[in-house]
Amino acid sequence: MFKFLEAIGRATINFLEFWGNWLIISVKAIMLAFRKPIRFQHYVYHLATIGTGSLPVIAVTSLFTGGVIALETYEAFHRFNAEYMIGGVVAISMAREMGPVLSALLVTARSGSAMAAEIGTMKVTEQIDALQMMAVNPIKYLITPRVYTSVIAVTLLTIVSDIVGYIGGYIVSVFIFDINKTLYMRYTQNLAEMNDVYHGLIKAAVFGFLIATISCLYGYFTRGGAKGVGESTTKAVVVSSIAILIFDYLITFILRLFDL
Protein backbone atom coordinates (compact mmCIF):
# COMPACT_ATOMS: atom_id res chain seq x y z
CA MET A 1 0.00 0.00 0.00
CA PHE A 2 2.79 2.38 0.96
CA LYS A 3 4.70 1.56 -2.23
CA PHE A 4 1.58 2.30 -4.27
CA LEU A 5 1.11 5.67 -2.56
CA GLU A 6 4.79 6.41 -2.98
CA ALA A 7 4.56 5.68 -6.70
CA ILE A 8 1.53 7.96 -7.06
CA GLY A 9 3.30 10.72 -5.13
CA ARG A 10 6.43 10.41 -7.25
CA ALA A 11 4.39 10.48 -10.46
CA THR A 12 2.52 13.57 -9.25
CA ILE A 13 5.76 15.36 -8.38
CA ASN A 14 7.28 14.46 -11.77
CA PHE A 15 4.14 15.68 -13.53
CA LEU A 16 4.13 19.01 -11.72
CA GLU A 17 7.88 19.42 -12.16
CA PHE A 18 7.62 18.81 -15.90
CA TRP A 19 4.82 21.30 -16.50
CA GLY A 20 6.49 23.81 -14.18
CA ASN A 21 9.70 23.63 -16.21
CA TRP A 22 7.65 23.78 -19.40
CA LEU A 23 5.91 26.97 -18.25
CA ILE A 24 9.19 28.62 -17.24
CA ILE A 25 10.94 27.80 -20.52
CA SER A 26 7.88 28.77 -22.57
CA VAL A 27 7.58 32.20 -20.94
CA LYS A 28 11.31 32.83 -21.26
CA ALA A 29 11.33 31.75 -24.91
CA ILE A 30 8.47 34.12 -25.73
CA MET A 31 9.88 37.12 -23.84
CA LEU A 32 13.50 36.75 -24.94
CA ALA A 33 12.55 37.14 -28.59
CA PHE A 34 12.30 40.91 -28.05
CA ARG A 35 15.71 41.24 -26.44
CA LYS A 36 18.67 42.20 -28.64
CA PRO A 37 20.50 40.83 -30.52
CA ILE A 38 17.76 39.46 -32.75
CA ARG A 39 19.28 36.90 -35.09
CA PHE A 40 16.87 36.83 -38.03
CA GLN A 41 18.98 34.28 -39.88
CA HIS A 42 18.18 31.72 -37.18
CA TYR A 43 14.46 32.24 -37.67
CA VAL A 44 14.75 31.88 -41.43
CA TYR A 45 16.86 28.74 -41.09
CA HIS A 46 14.49 27.00 -38.68
CA LEU A 47 11.42 28.05 -40.67
CA ALA A 48 12.92 26.49 -43.77
CA THR A 49 13.97 23.36 -41.87
CA ILE A 50 10.63 22.78 -40.19
CA GLY A 51 8.30 24.01 -42.93
CA THR A 52 9.97 23.07 -46.20
CA GLY A 53 11.27 19.76 -44.90
CA SER A 54 7.84 18.63 -43.71
CA LEU A 55 5.93 19.86 -46.77
CA PRO A 56 6.26 16.77 -49.02
CA VAL A 57 5.23 14.33 -46.29
CA ILE A 58 2.23 16.42 -45.27
CA ALA A 59 1.14 16.94 -48.88
CA VAL A 60 1.15 13.21 -49.67
CA THR A 61 -0.56 12.29 -46.40
CA SER A 62 -3.24 14.95 -46.79
CA LEU A 63 -3.96 13.99 -50.40
CA PHE A 64 -4.77 10.42 -49.43
CA THR A 65 -6.58 11.49 -46.27
CA GLY A 66 -8.97 13.63 -48.29
CA GLY A 67 -9.45 10.72 -50.66
CA VAL A 68 -10.20 8.34 -47.81
CA ILE A 69 -12.81 10.72 -46.35
CA ALA A 70 -14.54 10.84 -49.74
CA LEU A 71 -14.40 7.05 -50.07
CA GLU A 72 -15.82 6.45 -46.60
CA THR A 73 -18.64 8.98 -46.88
CA TYR A 74 -19.77 8.09 -50.41
CA GLU A 75 -21.67 4.92 -49.45
CA ALA A 76 -23.67 6.65 -46.72
CA PHE A 77 -24.45 9.72 -48.82
CA HIS A 78 -25.31 7.64 -51.88
CA ARG A 79 -28.21 6.02 -49.99
CA PHE A 80 -29.88 9.44 -49.74
CA ASN A 81 -28.75 10.70 -53.16
CA ALA A 82 -26.63 13.32 -51.41
CA GLU A 83 -23.28 12.55 -53.02
CA TYR A 84 -22.82 16.23 -53.87
CA MET A 85 -22.36 17.05 -50.19
CA ILE A 86 -19.16 15.03 -49.99
CA GLY A 87 -17.16 18.12 -50.93
CA GLY A 88 -18.47 20.01 -47.93
CA VAL A 89 -17.74 17.10 -45.63
CA VAL A 90 -14.16 16.80 -46.91
CA ALA A 91 -13.58 20.55 -46.64
CA ILE A 92 -14.96 20.83 -43.10
CA SER A 93 -13.19 17.68 -41.90
CA MET A 94 -9.82 18.79 -43.25
CA ALA A 95 -10.16 22.40 -42.08
CA ARG A 96 -11.41 21.76 -38.55
CA GLU A 97 -9.70 18.52 -37.59
CA MET A 98 -7.63 16.46 -39.98
CA GLY A 99 -5.50 19.28 -41.39
CA PRO A 100 -4.13 20.70 -38.12
CA VAL A 101 -3.85 17.35 -36.33
CA LEU A 102 -2.13 15.56 -39.23
CA SER A 103 0.27 18.46 -39.78
CA ALA A 104 1.13 18.67 -36.08
CA LEU A 105 1.72 14.94 -35.65
CA LEU A 106 3.93 14.73 -38.74
CA VAL A 107 5.93 17.80 -37.69
CA THR A 108 6.34 16.20 -34.26
CA ALA A 109 7.70 13.01 -35.76
CA ARG A 110 10.04 14.79 -38.14
CA SER A 111 11.06 18.11 -36.57
CA GLY A 112 10.14 17.68 -32.90
CA SER A 113 12.41 14.66 -32.59
CA ALA A 114 15.20 16.56 -34.35
CA MET A 115 14.85 19.48 -31.92
CA ALA A 116 15.10 17.20 -28.89
CA ALA A 117 18.03 15.25 -30.32
CA GLU A 118 19.99 18.33 -31.40
CA ILE A 119 19.58 20.25 -28.16
CA GLY A 120 20.07 17.07 -26.12
CA THR A 121 23.35 16.36 -27.90
CA MET A 122 24.50 19.91 -27.22
CA LYS A 123 23.59 19.43 -23.57
CA VAL A 124 25.51 16.19 -22.99
CA THR A 125 28.55 17.46 -24.93
CA GLU A 126 28.56 20.66 -22.79
CA GLN A 127 28.01 22.98 -25.76
CA ILE A 128 25.19 24.69 -23.86
CA ASP A 129 27.57 25.30 -20.96
CA ALA A 130 30.00 26.83 -23.46
CA LEU A 131 27.28 29.20 -24.67
CA GLN A 132 26.65 30.33 -21.12
CA MET A 133 30.39 30.89 -20.61
CA MET A 134 30.34 33.18 -23.68
CA ALA A 135 27.43 35.15 -22.15
CA VAL A 136 24.97 33.79 -24.71
CA ASN A 137 21.54 32.93 -23.32
CA PRO A 138 20.93 29.32 -24.48
CA ILE A 139 17.13 29.66 -24.32
CA LYS A 140 17.15 32.74 -26.54
CA TYR A 141 19.75 31.25 -28.88
CA LEU A 142 18.37 27.70 -29.19
CA ILE A 143 14.71 27.60 -28.14
CA THR A 144 13.17 30.98 -28.99
CA PRO A 145 13.69 30.73 -32.79
CA ARG A 146 12.31 27.20 -32.82
CA VAL A 147 9.18 28.18 -30.89
CA TYR A 148 8.20 31.08 -33.13
CA THR A 149 9.05 29.33 -36.38
CA SER A 150 7.18 26.18 -35.32
CA VAL A 151 4.00 28.19 -34.76
CA ILE A 152 4.32 29.80 -38.19
CA ALA A 153 5.35 26.60 -39.95
CA VAL A 154 2.57 24.40 -38.56
CA THR A 155 -0.02 27.09 -39.36
CA LEU A 156 1.16 27.38 -42.97
CA LEU A 157 1.44 23.61 -43.35
CA THR A 158 -2.14 23.27 -42.11
CA ILE A 159 -3.33 25.57 -44.90
CA VAL A 160 -1.47 23.41 -47.43
CA SER A 161 -2.93 20.27 -45.84
CA ASP A 162 -6.47 21.66 -46.12
CA ILE A 163 -6.05 22.49 -49.80
CA VAL A 164 -4.34 19.24 -50.78
CA GLY A 165 -6.82 17.18 -48.75
CA TYR A 166 -9.72 18.84 -50.54
CA ILE A 167 -8.05 18.10 -53.87
CA GLY A 168 -7.77 14.45 -52.85
CA GLY A 169 -11.47 14.32 -52.06
CA TYR A 170 -12.25 16.07 -55.36
CA ILE A 171 -10.23 13.54 -57.36
CA VAL A 172 -11.96 10.57 -55.74
CA SER A 173 -15.44 12.07 -55.97
CA VAL A 174 -15.30 13.46 -59.51
CA PHE A 175 -13.04 11.00 -61.29
CA ILE A 176 -13.89 7.75 -59.47
CA PHE A 177 -17.53 8.20 -58.43
CA ASP A 178 -18.36 10.49 -61.39
CA ILE A 179 -20.01 13.19 -59.25
CA ASN A 180 -20.88 16.39 -61.08
CA LYS A 181 -17.99 18.75 -60.38
CA THR A 182 -20.13 21.90 -60.55
CA LEU A 183 -22.53 20.65 -57.89
CA TYR A 184 -19.58 19.33 -55.88
CA MET A 185 -18.01 22.79 -55.74
CA ARG A 186 -21.32 24.56 -55.14
CA TYR A 187 -22.25 22.40 -52.16
CA THR A 188 -18.77 22.92 -50.76
CA GLN A 189 -19.32 26.69 -50.85
CA ASN A 190 -22.75 26.30 -49.25
CA LEU A 191 -21.64 24.01 -46.40
CA ALA A 192 -18.11 25.12 -45.55
CA GLU A 193 -17.36 28.48 -43.96
CA MET A 194 -14.24 30.50 -43.28
CA ASN A 195 -14.95 29.97 -39.59
CA ASP A 196 -14.03 26.31 -40.11
CA VAL A 197 -10.63 27.35 -41.44
CA TYR A 198 -10.07 29.77 -38.55
CA HIS A 199 -10.77 27.01 -36.02
CA GLY A 200 -8.15 24.82 -37.64
CA LEU A 201 -5.56 27.58 -37.75
CA ILE A 202 -6.05 28.34 -34.05
CA LYS A 203 -5.39 24.68 -33.31
CA ALA A 204 -2.36 24.66 -35.60
CA ALA A 205 -0.76 27.64 -33.84
CA VAL A 206 -1.24 26.04 -30.41
CA PHE A 207 0.07 22.70 -31.67
CA GLY A 208 3.17 24.33 -33.12
CA PHE A 209 3.87 26.01 -29.78
CA LEU A 210 3.44 22.72 -27.90
CA ILE A 211 5.71 20.80 -30.27
CA ALA A 212 8.58 23.25 -30.00
CA THR A 213 8.42 23.90 -26.27
CA ILE A 214 8.01 20.25 -25.23
CA SER A 215 10.69 18.98 -27.61
CA CYS A 216 13.16 21.68 -26.61
CA LEU A 217 12.38 21.10 -22.92
CA TYR A 218 13.29 17.42 -23.11
CA GLY A 219 16.42 18.23 -25.07
CA TYR A 220 17.46 20.99 -22.64
CA PHE A 221 17.22 18.70 -19.59
CA THR A 222 18.88 15.67 -21.19
CA ARG A 223 21.14 13.62 -18.94
CA GLY A 224 23.18 10.46 -19.39
CA GLY A 225 25.11 10.74 -22.64
CA ALA A 226 24.01 9.14 -25.89
CA LYS A 227 21.46 6.93 -24.14
CA GLY A 228 19.89 9.99 -22.54
CA VAL A 229 19.62 11.71 -25.92
CA GLY A 230 17.69 8.73 -27.29
CA GLU A 231 15.38 8.64 -24.29
CA SER A 232 14.74 12.40 -24.46
CA THR A 233 13.93 12.19 -28.16
CA THR A 234 11.46 9.35 -27.63
CA LYS A 235 9.78 11.09 -24.71
CA ALA A 236 9.55 14.35 -26.65
CA VAL A 237 7.70 12.69 -29.53
CA VAL A 238 5.36 10.70 -27.27
CA VAL A 239 4.49 13.57 -24.93
CA SER A 240 4.07 16.05 -27.79
CA SER A 241 1.71 13.67 -29.61
CA ILE A 242 -0.37 13.12 -26.49
CA ALA A 243 -0.44 16.86 -25.76
CA ILE A 244 -1.64 17.57 -29.32
CA LEU A 245 -4.57 15.17 -28.97
CA ILE A 246 -5.51 16.45 -25.50
CA PHE A 247 -5.34 20.11 -26.51
CA ASP A 248 -7.23 19.30 -29.69
CA TYR A 249 -10.19 18.30 -27.55
CA LEU A 250 -9.77 21.22 -25.15
CA ILE A 251 -9.60 23.83 -27.92
CA THR A 252 -12.63 22.32 -29.66
CA PHE A 253 -14.56 22.31 -26.38
CA ILE A 254 -13.66 25.94 -25.64
CA LEU A 255 -14.57 27.10 -29.13
CA ARG A 256 -17.88 25.27 -28.90
CA LEU A 257 -18.52 26.62 -25.42
CA PHE A 258 -18.18 30.23 -26.55
CA ASP A 259 -19.83 29.47 -29.90
CA LEU A 260 -16.86 30.80 -31.86
Residues 6 or more apart whose CB falls under 8 angstroms from that of 214 comprise: 22, 112, 236, 239, 240, 243
- Residue 173 exposure: Cα atoms within 13 Å on the Cβ side: 34
Tell me how far apart the alpha carbons of residues 225 and 120 are, in angstroms, rounded to a whole number: 9
Residues in the chain: 260
In Å, how far from its chain's centre is CA 44?
19
What is the pLDDT, as a whole number, of residue 108?
93
85 has a pLDDT exceeding 70: yes
Mean pLDDT over each residue of the chain, to the nearest integer: 88
Count helices and strands (H / E) in the chain. Answer: 12, 0
- Each residue of 15-63: pLDDT tens digit? 788 888 888 888 888 888 788 877 788 888 888 888 888 889 999 999 9
What is the pLDDT, as a whole number, of residue 260?
63
Residues 6 or more apart whose CB falls under 8 angstroms from that of 58 comprise: 102, 103, 106, 107, 157, 160, 161, 164
pTM of the model: 0.91
- Each residue of 99-144: pLDDT tens digit? 999 999 999 998 999 999 999 988 888 888 888 888 788 888 888 9
150 has a pLDDT exceeding 80: yes
